[in-house]
Amino acid sequence: MEWIVEKNCSNYQHVEGFIPLIKPILELQIEKAALSTLEYFVITDSEDAQYCNSVKKFAAIVGAEEDITQDEQYSSVGKTLNGIDKAGKQHQAILIRSWIWEKAAEEIVNLIGKEDAEKETLIFRYFSKVLHEIGHAIDNEKLFGISCSTDEVTQHDPKDGLHDCYKQIALSLWGEYAAESFACKSAITRRHSLIDSEHNLFDCIETYSMGTDNRSLFERVYRILYFFMLRIAVLRQHANVAKEKSYDYLRQDPRFSEYRPLLSKVELAIENLERDYPEWKSCDRLNELTNQIKRFLFFERGRQMRIKWFGK
């Protein structure tokens, strides 16, 4: 695997200087996972235009879709590109924005010289984001050959090929769950992750993309379920709350009680998928999750129309 710091990266020397610190840790994780298709690990400039240019460049190199999102509120801090060449061979690249790389390095520096008891109190908020991208690469390799596309939902017109679009959403959401599960197992992320995942989910339900057109509805449902996937992944890594369902938190707040039945079915679908992961025979294994996404979209369409006409 080739490690690259883009030449146009701000604070180039500073960013490059952290590679000897983090590289051995990440290489150990990659080796443990027997990840063989990851060919490039790239630190890009943090500025949006430079970051997008880097994504486009390495997407072309590995033969992947660019899938550039223009969502400023949820702009990605990293990207895992998954491509296939003409011979059917898989190639992957991970791109991380430089500011995340620097913050992750600071967290690792804070770990040096600490006793075990002290280590348990440290927060690895940014290093876990780097691990999340490695988790995507591992999941991509495990599910290589499954015929669903993992293109971003925002790149599809919901009017065209609805069935395929639902399947793509389902596989993408599974990927977020698998990636965050890997990150939670591999880093001390628990304390902050529990708080962050709950806040992000509730905030998304309350404020994100409240339009009634198809694109707004698809994006809203995807974002809610995206944060719910992270919530499930975090919660399932905590021994003290392993028996508690992620959607149970919604029961405590009357504003979100109507979402509880929907999210309970989504979580059950994820649990069922995990039982035989990664030995899925085809994309049809995602049918249960796909059906729950359809139900969620139907619910949101009715909810948004109710808000539009009656204000509640």
The predicted structure's pLDDT at residue 119: 60
β-pairing verdict for 38-44 and 78-84: unpaired
Residues 268 and 163 in one domain: yes
The mean pLDDT value for 115-139 works out to 82
Strand, helix or coil for residue 209: coil
% the chain with pLDDT above 90: 52
User: How far lies 243's CA from each of 163, 238, 247, 250, in Å?
Assistant: 34, 9, 12, 16
The mean pLDDT value for 50-71 works out to 84
The predicted structure's pLDDT at residue 130: 95
From 114-118, 150-154, 302-306, the region with the lowest mean pLDDT: 150-154
Residues 159 and 300 in one domain: yes
The predicted structure's pLDDT at residue 281: 82
Residues 189 and 282 in one domain: yes
Residues 175 and 309 in one domain: yes
Residue 150 is assigned to a structural domain of this protein: yes
Residues 11 and 70 in one domain: yes
- Residues 58-67: contacts with CB under 8 Å, at least 24 apart: 58/93, 58/95, 59/83, 59/93, 61/91, 61/93, 62/91, 62/92, 62/93, 63/91, 64/91, 64/92, 64/93, 65/151, 65/155, 67/151, 67/152, 67/155
Q: Which residues are paired to 38 by β-bridges?
A: 92
Residues 153 and 285 in one domain: yes
Residues 170 and 307 in one domain: yes
Residue 207 is assigned to a structural domain of this protein: yes
- Inform me whether the pLDDT recorded for 156 exceeds 50: no
Residue 134 is assigned to a structural domain of this protein: no
Position 59 confidence tier, pLDDT thresholds 50, 70, 90: very high
- Inform me whether the pLDDT recorded for 34 exceeds 90: yes
Q: Which of these, 115, 97, 109, lies nearest to 22 by C-alpha position?
A: 109
The predicted structure's pLDDT at residue 254: 73
Residue 136 is assigned to a structural domain of this protein: no
**Residues 6 or more apart from 26 whose CB is under 8 A from it?**
41, 130, 131, 134
Residues 108 and 241 in one domain: no
Contact 189, 121 (CB under 8 A): no
Peptide bond into 278 cis (omega under 30): yes
Q: In whole angstroms, give the CA distance from residue 12 to residue 6.
A: 8
Q: Looking at per-residue confidence, does 198 or 33 come out higher?
A: 33
Instruction: State the chain's mean pLDDT as an integer.
Output: 83
Residue 140 is assigned to a structural domain of this protein: no
Number of domains into which the chain is organized: 2
The predicted structure's pLDDT at residue 6: 95
Q: In whole angstroms, give the CA distance from residue 221 to residue 209.
A: 9
Note if the pTM is more than 0.85. yes
Q: In whole angstroms, give the CA distance from residue 69 to residue 4.
A: 23
The predicted structure's pLDDT at residue 74: 40
Residue 131 is assigned to a structural domain of this protein: no
Characterize 153-181 residue by residue with b for buried, 16 or more Cβ atoms within 10 angstroms of its Cβ, and e for exposed. beebebeeeeeebbbbbbbbbbbbbbbbb
Range of the domain at 5: 1-116
Write out the two tokens for 215: 């694109």
Residues 176 and 44 in one domain: no
Residue 125 is assigned to a structural domain of this protein: no
Tell me, what amino acid is at 129?
K
The predicted structure's pLDDT at residue 105: 93
Looking at 236-286, list the stretches that DSSP marks H as alpha helix, in order from N- to C-terminal side. 260-275
- Phi first, then psi, for residue 261 (nearest 5°) are -60, -40
Residues 31 and 91 in one domain: yes
Q: What is the pLDDT of residues 134-145, one digit of tens each?
A: 999 999 999 997
Q: In whole angstroms, give the CA distance from residue 179 to residue 229.
A: 10
Q: In whole angstroms, give the CA distance from residue 216 to residue 98.
A: 31
Residue 132 is assigned to a structural domain of this protein: no
DSSP 215-240: HHHHHHHHHHHHHHHHHHHHHTT-GG
Residues 171 and 305 in one domain: yes
Residues 32 and 89 in one domain: yes
From 73-77, 142-146, 302-306, the region with the lowest mean pLDDT: 73-77
The mean pLDDT value for 107-118 works out to 75
